[in-house]
Amino acid sequence: MKQSKLLIPTRQVADEEIDTVSERLLSQAGYVTKLARGIYAYLPLAERVIQKISRVIQSELSTQDSIKMRMPNLLPHEYSLEECETQVAEKLFSVNDAAGETYMLAPAHERSFMDLIMKEVRSYKELPLSLFQTQMKYRDETHKQRGLIDSREFLMTDVYSFHADQESLDQFYRQMEESIDRILTTCGLTFKVVNGASKRVGAKAMREFIVPTAIGQKEFCYASEGEYAATLAVAVSESDTKKSHATYQPLEEIAEFDIHTTPLNQTIKPLFYRVKEDLVVLLLRADHQVNEEKVKRFFQVPSITPADQETITSFFGDIQTDDFFTTLNQLPIYADQGLSELVNAQFNSHMLARAYRNVNFNRDLQITQFLDIQLVKEGDLALNGQGTLIFDRGISVAQMTKLAPDYARQVGAIFLDDQEQLQTLNMGYYGIGVTRIFALIVELYAMEDKMCWPQAIAPFDVHILPLDITDPFQVELATQVALELDQAGYDLLIDDRETSAADKEHDAALIGCPIQCTIGKKAVEGIVELEIKAKQAVLEVRKEELLTTLSILLQSE
C-alpha cells in the first residue's frame, strides 16, 4: 500500500489537552479524529487494526463452532428497555421515526438473541448452538470519560451459547475462557482473569478479563501466592478471627470513655440500612467496612440507603439498657460471617451512643443470617492459604457469565427434550470489547511520541521508507525490497511521499509498524537499515539477506 494513497493526517505536536495516552497518540498519528464528545471517526489505519483484531476473534471463535450473524442496532424503545436499564446505568439514546414511534440505539442485544432463539429453536436436536456478532453499541456514559476507552459508540463482539443441559454449558464456558485468553494474548495484552459481578439481566457469577493500568477505574485484588483474583465488588478474604471457647460473661453497658479499651477486631459495630422500605441491621467488625455491592446482590435490589439519624432514633426511642437488644432484635439482623467466632465481644453504636461489653450471639443478638458483607482490605489473608491480597486497578476488556435458569424461565426460553418434555435452556454470554482493546494496546505499548503495534494486529507488518524518492537507487531498492517482502507474505506500507526524511521518520514512529525498513544513502550498495521495534534492534543488512534476517529475528521474539 502506497502511503500517498492513504488518509493519514499526522501532526507534529500532540494535543496536550487530551487526557489519555491512547487518544492523544492516535489523534497525533492520524488513526482517529474526534467528532463530538465520546464520538470518533476511525480513519484507515485504525480500521485496519480493528479489522485485524476482529479477525483474531473470529478465527478463535470458529474453533468453538460459533456462527457469525448480525442483529439490528435500532430497537423498539420498549424492547428490553427494563433489561437494558438494569444492565447499564447509562442513559439510553432514543430516536423517533416519522410515525411517532420511539426507538433506541442498542446498548446491548440480550433480548434480541433471546427472542431469536425462542422463535427459531424448538428441539434438543438443534442444541448446543453458539452465535456471535461484532456490532456497534451505544451508551451515553455519564461518568468522566477516558477518551476512546469510554466512547459512547463502541464495537463489541457478543457471543451467546445455548445448551440443553448444565454440563454442556459448563464445558463450553471453560472452552470460551481459554479462547478469550488466547485472543487477548495474541493481541498483545497483559491481563488478569478475575471473579466479578455482572449487571446483565439474569446473570450469575461472572469472569472478567482486566488489563492493569493506572487509568483504570475497576478495582480488583489477587492472591500473592495463588490464582485467586476478584473485583472488589465480590472479593472475599480468609477470616483472621480466632475461634474462642470462653464462657459467656454477663452483659454490661459501658461508659463512652471505655469503648476504646477493646481491640477493634473484637468489637462489633451495627450499621442501619433501608432495603426497599424495610429497616435492616448489618453487623461488622469495627475494623471492617461494609461492601454495599454484596448487600445489594444478597437482597437482589438495585440500591440500598443508609438510614438517617432521625429514622434510627425514632425506632429505638428512649429505651432502657435492659430493653436495647430486645428492641434491636425486632429488626432483621445480618452479620458478617467473620463475626461468627466472636465470644464476649464489645458492641459500639455511635449513632445511638450505646456501648456494651460481653455481647454474644444467640443470647443477646438474634441473627437472621450470617453472610459475607465485608469489603476486603489490601493485606487481608487470601483464601485457602494463598498468601495475602494485593490490590490493583485496571480496565475490563472482556467478560463472560452464565445466565440464571430463572431468567430463562421468566422469558420463556424453552425447548423439547428427547422425551418431548419442555425444558429450560441453559445459556451463556461472552463479550469482547474490540475498540477498547484497540485503545488499550496503545496505552500499554506507547513510548512517548512513538508506537509499536503487536505483530498480529499492526496496520501493516513492514513500513518501507525510501528517504529520498528523487534518488533512483533508493527508489529501485525500495521496489525490489517491497516485491520480495510482498511475495513472502508481509503486509507493506511504502512511504512514497515527496517529503523530507525527517518527516518520514517522524510519521513512521507515530504509525508504529513493528518492522521498519529504511532505505537511504547506502541504497547504491544494496544495504537497508532494518529496525525491529519490539526488540529495539537496528541493524544494516544487504537486500539478499533481508528475508533470512527477518525470519531469524521474528522467530526469536
- Terminal CA-to-CA distance of the chain, rounded, Å? 26
Given this model, what pLDDT does residue 504 score?
A: 96
Predicted local confidence at residue 353, as pLDDT:
84
What was the pLDDT predicted at 89? Answer: 41
Write the CB contacts of 266 (distance below 8 Å, at least 6 apart in sequence): 342, 345, 346
Q: Is 3.40.50.800 the CATH classification of the domain at 460-555? A: yes
Separation of alpha carbons 301 and 293, rounded Å:
10
pLDDT for res 144: 64
Query: Which neighbouring-strand residues pair with 212?
Result: 394
pLDDT value, residue 9: 96
Residue 354: what pLDDT?
87
217 half-sphere exposure, CB direction, 13 A CA radius: 6
CA–CA dist 189, 181 (Å, integer): 10
Q: Does domain 252-375 have CATH number 3.40.50.9100?
A: no
Whether residue 461 contacts residue 490, with contact meaning beta carbons closer than 8 Å, is answered with yes
Q: How many other C-beta atoms lie within 10 A of the C-beta of residue 41? A: 11
Q: Percent of the chain, pLDDT > 90?
A: 74
Measured distance CA(426)–CA(117) in Å, rounded: 12
Please answer whether residues 299 and 368 qualify as being in contact, where contact means their C-beta atoms are separated by less than 8 angstroms.
no
Q: Pseudo-torsion of CA 494, 498, 499, 503, nearest 10°?
A: -10
Regarding the domain with residue range 46-72+109-235+391-444, which homologous superfamily does it belong to in the CATH classification? Bira Bifunctional Protein; Domain 2 (3.30.930.10)
Contacts with 458 (C-beta within 8 Å, 6 or more apart), sequence order: 49, 52, 491, 512, 513, 514
Whole-number Cα distances in Å, 81 to 286, 337, 460: 42, 37, 42
Q: Which of 155, 87, 165 is nearest to 124 (CA)?
A: 165
Listed residue (173, 147, 4) closest to 439, CA to CA: 147
* Cα 80 versus chain centre, distance: 23
User: Which grid cell sits at 207?
Assistant: 469472569
| Residue 351 pLDDT | 85
Q: Would you state the pLDDT for residue 556?
A: 63
In the chain, which stretches have pLDDT less than 70? Answer: 79-90, 142-145, 200-202, 256-259, 320-322, 556-557
Please state, in angstroms and rounded to a whole number, the distance separating the CA atoms of residues 120 and 124: 12
d(CA 251, CA 358): 5
Q: Which of 262, 273, 277, 282 is nearest to 312 (CA)?
A: 273
- The size of the chain, in residues, is 557
How far apart are the C-alpha atoms of 489 and 461, rounded to whole Å?
Answer: 9
Contact 406, 203 (CB under 8 A): no
> What is the structure's pLDDT at 198?
80
Matching fold, domains 46-72+109-235+391-444 and 252-375: no
Vertex 257: Cα angle to 256 and 259 (nearest 5): 70
Closest CA to 1 of 495, 529, 530: 495
The residue extents of the domains of the chain are 46-72+109-235+391-444, 252-375, 460-555
